[in-house]
Amino acid sequence: MTVVAEVVRGPWPGSVEFGARGEVTVAGVSLVEIAARFGTPSYVIDEADVRRRCREYKAALPGAEIAYAAKAFLCRAMASWMRAERMSIDVCSAGELAVARSVGFPAERIIFHGNAKTPRELTAAVNEGVGRIVVDNLAEISRLAALVPAGRRQKVLVRVIPDVGAGAHAALRTGGEDQQFGLSIATGAAGEAVARVLDQPSLELTGLHCHLGSQIRAPEPYETAVRVMVEQTARVRERHGVLLPELDLGGGHGIAYLPGEHGLDVAEFGRRIDRALRERCAARGLPVPRLIVEPGRAISGPAGVTLYRVISVKRGLTRTYVAVDGGMSDNPRHSLYGAPYEVRLVGRASNAGTRPVHVVGHHCEAGDVLAEDAPLPADVHPGDVIVMAATGAYHHSMASTYNLTGRPPVVAVGEGGARLVVRREGAEDLMRRDVGL
Ligand SMILES: *Cc1c(COP(=O)(O)O)cnc(C)c1O
């Protein structure tokens, strides 16, 4: 089997191999065999690739805390891999918290986020003893303080808006003014939140947090954020005489979705952020705070692929539609943001030449498109298996049961072969919640 070198650094897991007769393996496991054994559609995730990415972050940012953003993809296997890699975890709901805790993930390494945490979620976070809660609005400060049992202090970060615009799509930009996340420096809300937290004896402010957006592939926006955040940290010292020991720069690190693209260079990011942080802190006479970064997509995204089976091929007047047995219910990203994807035929060679097609799903929506103008062999036909790259983040976690379609299983691949870590959802699962009549 030959490895096609140029795609290895693209959107695929590092272990992918493309054979001359159309075989595709991930971590040495044949995708055709996975499709036969577990059915389609199926999510496949390469455990070693996920874990290697965690280590890459630790090597690039020695001394920093690396918190995996669970909203990208979480199941109990994933949480236990994160525990084994000594990562921290970001959660943003009681559900994500429960999954992380169910595998014994240490509460002190959990960071709880959310712009509208419910009282029930705040209670769960405090009761579980999460390491930090990220304050994202003024109302939750006294609410949170009241939940902390006597004799304990809850560590908190305050999420500020650094007003740095970055990210691949408007829906993915969260670092600028006038969106629902964080507290504005310009309006004084961020300063007010800091003062109120410092006024609560049951809360301990450990640092400021920001998150610029998602799919950011260059280090410059983060360098700008370091300047803003160090300046704000210095102001907290000036106004309150408090030295904040931590600085959380959020996540949003970009990955490749198409061949030839590149994601954020993690090693370069590490060097540049470290330098910017040292320089800015020296300029302001501050000790260098411990850095926290929160990659989600960059840990799980490229480690995952999705397998589909072709159900029909329809030649329209101007284009060809290849309809598969999944769609916007297992991958809403194309219909939400027009996200591009790489697809390939699996399991047979074709010398028919390639032709751009629209890969569409089986849902009753014209917007149920998975990939536009994707080059597939001209003889693609019903029964073929196709694989889509870079589906390890924001696919399973954003999946819905639209049209009462059960969500696909998650199959982990590694040295021991393939194993089911999340089973397929069937009609009986869907009906279990439906207590009507
Ligand atoms: C979504 C999110 C992340 C992770 O974003 P990625 O693009 O997956 O890296 C990190 N931190 C916060 C606060 C987030 O909301």
227-266 pLDDT tens trace: 999 999 999 999 999 999 999 999 999 999 999 999 999 9
Residue nearest to atom 15 of ligand 1 (CA): 211
Which pLDDT belongs to residue 75? 98
| Mean pLDDT, rounded, of the chain | 95
Which pLDDT belongs to residue 170? 61
Q: Which domain holds residue 366?
A: 4-39+303-433
Task: Quote the ligand 1 centre to 221 CA distance (angstroms).
Answer: 15
Quick check: 155 pLDDT over 50?
yes
Q: How many folded domains does the chain comprise? A: 2
Mean pLDDT of 380-404: 98
- Are residues 175 and 67 part of one domain? yes
- Are residues 141 and 114 part of one domain? yes
Tell me how far CA of residue 15 lies from CA of 64, 174, 258, 300, 351, in angstroms: 27, 33, 17, 14, 25
Annotated ligand binding at 188? The verdict is no
Q: Of 1-5, 164-168, 275-279, 334-338, which range is least confident? A: 1-5
Residue 62: which of 301, 267, 225 has the closest Cα? Answer: 267
Pairwise CA distance, residues 112 & 92, whole Å? 6
Mean pLDDT of 119-128: 97
Quick check: 317 pLDDT over 60?
yes
- Are residues 308 and 170 part of one domain? no
- Are residues 286 and 311 part of one domain? no
Phi/psi region, residue 250 (left: phi>0; alpha: psi -120 to 50; beta: rest), is left
Annotated ligand binding at 33? The verdict is no
Pairwise CA distance, residues 105 & 86, whole Å? 9
The share of the chain scoring above pLDDT 70, in percent, equals 96
Is residue 98 within 8 Å of residue 119, measured between CB atoms?
Answer: no
Is residue 256 within 8 Å of residue 342, measured between CB atoms?
Answer: no
Quick check: 168 pLDDT over 60?
no
**Quick check: bond before 340 cis, omega within 30?**
no
Which pLDDT belongs to residue 175? 74
Tokens 């975890």 correspond to: 89
Residue at a domain's end among 300, 322, 353: 300
- Are residues 180 and 232 part of one domain? yes
Annotated ligand binding at 295? The verdict is yes
- Tell me the β-bridge partners of 66: 293
Mean pLDDT of 294-311: 98
Confidence of residue 176 (pLDDT cuts 50, 70, 90): confident
pLDDT in tens, 179-225: 889 999 999 999 999 999 999 999 999 999 999 999 999 999 999 99
Mean pLDDT of 301-316: 97
Distance from chain centroid for Cα 378: 34
Annotated ligand binding at 428? The verdict is no
Residue 411: which of 14, 21, 29, 5 has the closest Cα? Answer: 29
- Are residues 162 and 52 part of one domain? yes
Phi, psi of 260 (to 5 degrees): 90, -15
Which pLDDT belongs to residue 178? 77
- Are residues 286 and 333 part of one domain? no
Mean pLDDT of 407-432: 97
- Are residues 323 and 292 part of one domain? no
Task: Quote the ligand 1 centre to 250 CA distance (angstroms).
Answer: 6
Which pLDDT belongs to residue 167? 59
Distance from chain centroid for Cα 247: 20
- Are residues 132 and 92 part of one domain? yes
Mean pLDDT of 401-410: 97
Q: Which two tokens stand for residue 58?
A: 């630790």
364 is known as an active-site residue: yes
Phi, psi of 326 (to 5 degrees): -130, -150
- Give, for ligand 1, the residue of 214, 257, 269 to mutate: max count of ligand atoms closer than 8 Å to Cβ: 214
Quick check: 4 pLDDT over 50?
no
**CATH number (domain holding residue 164):** 3.20.20.10
Residue at a domain's end among 265, 300, 335: 300
Pairwise CA distance, residues 96 & 416, whole Å? 27
Distance separating the N- and C-terminal Cα atoms of the chain? 56
**CATH number (domain holding residue 414):** 2.40.37.10
- Are residues 82 and 27 part of one domain? no
Tell me how far CA of residue 307 lies from CA of 42, 271, 296, 343, 376, in angstroms: 5, 37, 22, 10, 15
Q: How many CB atoms lie within 10 A of CB 192?
A: 15
**What pTM does this model have?**
0.95
Quick check: 174 pLDDT over 80?
no
Which ligand 1 atom lies nearest to the CA of residue 215? Answer: 7
Confidence of residue 1 (pLDDT cuts 50, 70, 90): very low
Half-sphere exposure of 161 (CA within 13 A, CB side): 21
- Are residues 135 and 71 part of one domain? yes
Which ligand 1 atom lies nearest to the CA of residue 301? Answer: 8
Quick check: 333 pLDDT over 90?
yes
- Are residues 220 and 119 part of one domain? yes
Amino acid making up residue 75? C
Residue at a domain's end among 278, 300, 322: 300
Quick check: 3 pLDDT over 80?
no
Which pLDDT belongs to residue 27? 98
Q: How many CB atoms lie within 10 A of CB 17?
A: 17
- Give, for ligand 1, the residue of 73, 87, 90 to mutate: max count of ligand atoms closer than 8 Å to Cβ: 90
